[in-house]
Chains A and B, each alone.
Chain A
Amino acid sequence: MVSGLINANPIVYEKKERRVRNEAAVPDEYAVEPIDQLEIFYHIRDIKDPEHPYSLEELKVITEDAIEVDNERSYVRVTFTPTVEHCSMATVIGLCLRVKLMRSLPSRYKMDIRVAPGTHATEAAVNKQLNDKERVAAALENPNLLDMVDECLAPSYA
């Protein structure tokens, strides 16, 4: 790895086996299909890390267990774990997660994206920024940042 990276040698984990989701026995195309943890995980597992050629799943930045879904309240919470404590890419990763879910989930869903407690030196600041929709909106109007986000999201649409 080229030096100058925030985390030059991240630990790479194996991808989880791709399970087939349990579909309803009698599919009813008019029923509102509840969204579960696994579905959210599938939307975000292949997002590429901003500075490594690995997915967020391979780096264990996200795991299925760190996803909370409450269909009754149309609420999703994703807690992610940056690879190192001072990872300055945490905001970009959070932005990628938010954008991917904004584009994938029905608009009624409310979401909170958070850094796992104790995993980031400026946890509160990162969380506050990621959940301020005005700052997110402004960031996504920045062409350079949007390019970076879209590049990370590309594998997740494959």
Chain B
Amino acid sequence: MELLDGNLELKEIQKLQGHTDRVWSLAWNPATAAADVPKVFASCSGDKTVRIWEESPSTRSWDCKAVLEETHTRTVRSCAWSPSGRLLATASFDATTAIWENVGGDFECVSTLEGHENEVKSVSWNASGSLLATCGRDKTVWIWEVMPGNEFECIQVLQGHTQDVKMVEWHPTMDILFSCSYDNTVKVWWSDDADGDWSCVQTLGESSNGHSSTVWSLAFNAKGDKLVTCSDDLTMKIWEADIIRMQSGDGYAPWNHLCTLSGYHDRTIFSVHWSREGIIASGAADDAVRLFVESKDGSMNGSSYQLLLKKEKAHDMDVNSVQWCPGEKRLLASASDDGTIKIWELGTLP
């Protein structure tokens, strides 16, 4: 199916209700991407709970399988599955990050990570599942080592952002950490050698074609050589790096601004996510979900992206998170201030 041939529609498959406050974020379990395993994702909310949703293989409908409650005492802002899909990490405004283990369908809180001074806003696992990163209002980014027996040890507190840190995200294949902030920048953290200290090797700020207001979220393409960031400045920006060079051990390769997508959004963009086949989804405060793809006709200026589809009124209120399902089908999940999650399928019009 050629994406740019048009006639695409984002079809609502199901609206999931259960949370009693805004849904901030959601995460697909990466271990459920295979065709023979039921798809699972987690969602987290201002109602202080996390919900686990599973698709029934027979009816294809989604049901809430578990509610993780009575652990966090304030908003649960973000959640992330370990690469194996066995552990779920949840970051909360109560200043803690909880680690949950799936034991035969029941989720047990097996560890609580304390250290941030106040609200924890985001959590991310590295590609191998050996490291965890958290960030929060205290302007710091923490790197935790995953030890045997569900122990987590903080190996470094990274300082550099001048305002609260909204999100952390590891590179999909390499141990490079990215953080974005209310200070309008994205910082890249890297360690020269395996046992070395982590340091900020690059700051993508306004002076380097970066954003002019809060950077809310970022995501990588499948190859890991491109990065998309989104902001309160109503733009999305695409960045590129020579990751082949980095993978061959020739040191750090900087990320360069490739292009800016402006004029598409008129309220804050809270979430971006890149599908395996290259479709960027955005979720924004104008209640809409938009999809973008790289343009085929290579212009003189190199790379450019175009709007593939805009779903107006995807939700009744702000769209806080959009996440593509890692599996074969073009499934997208969105979470909103309206308290619901929607499952969408990208298909062709009949």
Contact = CB atoms under 8 A, between A and B. Distances in A.
A153 B119 CA distance: 26
A108 B316 contact: yes
B96 interface: no
A72 B166 CA distance: 32
A77 B135 CA distance: 32
Interface of B: 22, 46, 74-75, 77, 93, 118-119, 121, 137, 164, 166, 182, 213-214, 232, 267, 285-286, 316-318, 337-338
Interface stretch (A32-40, A63-71, A133-141): A133-141
Given A128-B213, A132-B214, A138-B137, A110 B166 contact: no
A107 interface: yes
Contact of B338 (A107, A132, A134, A135): A107
Given A110-B267, A128-B213, A141 B75 contact: yes
A133 B232 CA distance: 11
Interface of B is mostly: loop
A132 B46 contact: no
B166 A134 contact: yes
A110 B284 CA distance: 12
B157 to A, nearest CB: 21
24 contacts: A107-B316, A107-B317, A107-B338, A108-B316, A110-B267, A128-B182, A128-B213, A128-B214, A132-B214, A132-B232, A133-B285, A133-B318, A134-B121, A134-B166, A135-B182, A137-B22, A137-B46, A137-B75, A137-B93, A138-B93, A138-B119, A138-B137, A141-B74, A141-B75
Contacts of A132: 182, 214, 232
Contacts of A137: 22, 46, 75, 93
Contacts of B46: 137
